[in-house]
Amino acid sequence: MADSITQISGEDSLIARYFRPIATDPGAFNLDDDAAALRPSGDDIVVTTDAVVEGVHFLPNDPPDTVARKALRVNLSDLAAKGATPTGFVLTLALRSADEAWLKPFAQALGEDAAHFGCPLLGGDTVSTPGPLMISITAFGRVTPGKMVHRSGARPGDRVVVTGTIGDAALGLDVLKNGPAAAALANDAAAKEALIARYRVPQPRNALANAIRDQASAAMDVSDGLAGDLTKLCAASGVSAAIDVPSIPLSSAASALLAHGTVSIEAIVTGGDDYEILCAIPGDRFEAFIQAARQSGVAATSVGSIIAGTAAPVFLDAQGRELVLKRLSYSHF
């Protein structure tokens, strides 16, 4: 009888070369099994999933390391908004070809972020596709039993708080597409690079997760635009909100573009990909939350209040006049 021969498929070789080295968690079983295992700890398991698609969430010529970071970080942002600590993730990668020049920096950046955020690779799948690249990640987190923060807990009198700055990612995409922002910032390379970085590599606010869990009555991340996501939070909570537009935190680049009329405030509050935290904080917890934000190194700003009613949130200018928004957020459909 002839000796048996074990053949290694191209998919197995790809996994072994690029992803086995970064799957360091014992529950990943060295990526040799069909499933991973999460050890029970008594906490609730929070699960979230997001995909990033070439031509929709990233551009075809975006560096592969930034694509990897964005794919993981948009999921980490969801975990942060729920007050959860990252536990691990599984990856589905749809590729046109096994291109080492793309895969090597992609896997390296993914491994670096997995280590930095304490969210190890547990397993996944790789498939070929004739269409655009697609990276889908399902991330797992842990939270004290019953303490996951929902969208539905906001109450009248709560402060509406956002982290970081709003609108930069949409402006970064405009720069990459040589839109009005690119022309206006033609002589300011640093500002252009800062906006592009916000689009390509989100900054998930996981350092603030414990404070969100302990202090927020409701929270979600801003992925589709501040106006639209606030509307979703209010609808889930059965309330409305009044937002003081001048209080919305903007970067220096966004402020300059707004002041010169290059972009409108509507574009800033309805643009997607901010991946900041939007939360409702009861008045008696507000100072504790702001102090926790300072200690974690995350900027947090009160931009308005939750109010009674079921109407859409209102956005008020410096004179108290309501801004009429033609759209609320980015939508895939």
Q: How does pLDDT run along the chain (333 residues), one tens digit per residue? A: 333 334 456 778 888 889 999 898 999 999 988 899 988 889 999 999 999 999 999 999 999 999 999 999 999 999 999 999 999 999 999 999 989 999 999 999 999 999 999 999 999 999 999 999 999 999 999 999 999 999 999 999 999 999 999 999 999 999 999 999 999 999 999 999 999 999 999 999 999 999 999 999 999 999 999 999 999 999 999 999 999 999 999 999 999 999 999 999 999 999 989 999 999 999 999 999 999 999 999 999 999 999 999 999 999 999 999 988 876 655 544
- Contact (Cβ atoms closer than 8 angstroms) between residue 127 and residue 15: no
Element (H, E) at 10: helix 10-14
Amino acid in the structure at residue 322: E
Which residue is it, tokens 């990033």? 52
- Contact (Cβ atoms closer than 8 angstroms) between residue 135 and residue 95: no
Judge residue 320's burial from the number of C-beta atoms within 10 Å of its C-beta, 0-12 exposed, 13-18 middle, 19 or more buried: exposed
pLDDT at 3: 38
**CA torsion through residues 324, 328, 330, 332, sign:** negative
pTM of the model: 0.93
Element (H, E) at 110: helix 100-116
Q: Give the pairing type, strands 121-128 and 85-95.
A: parallel
Q: Which residues pair with 141 in a beta bridge?
A: 46, 86
pLDDT at 328: 66
Q: Which residues contact 141 (CB under 8 A, 6 or more apart)?
A: 45, 46, 47, 48, 79, 82, 84, 85, 86, 87
pLDDT at 11: 79
Q: Give the pairing type, strands 300-307 and 314-316.
A: unpaired
* Strand, coil or helix: 224: coil
Q: Which residues contact 323 (CB under 8 A, 6 or more apart)?
A: 245, 265, 266, 315, 316, 317
Between CA 196 and CA 172 the distance in angstroms is 4
Q: Which residues contact 118 (CB under 8 A, 6 or more apart)?
A: 85, 86
Residue 171: which of 66, 59, 262 has the closest Cα?
262
- Contact (Cβ atoms closer than 8 angstroms) between residue 270 and residue 325: yes
Which residue is it, tokens 């609320």? 328
DSSP 15: I
Q: Which residues pair with 315 in a beta bridge?
A: 243
Instruction: State the distance between the two ends of the chain, measured CA to CA, in whole angstroms.
Output: 59
Q: How far is CA 190 from CA 69, 88, 271, 320, in A?
A: 21, 35, 21, 34
Packing angle between helix 64-81 and helix 100-116, nearest 10 degrees?
A: 30
**CA torsion through residues 148, 150, 153, 159, sign:** positive
Instruction: Tell how many helices (H) and how many strands (E) occur in the chain.
Output: 11, 10
Q: How far is CA 265 from CA 28, 97, 136, 271, in A?
A: 46, 41, 32, 10
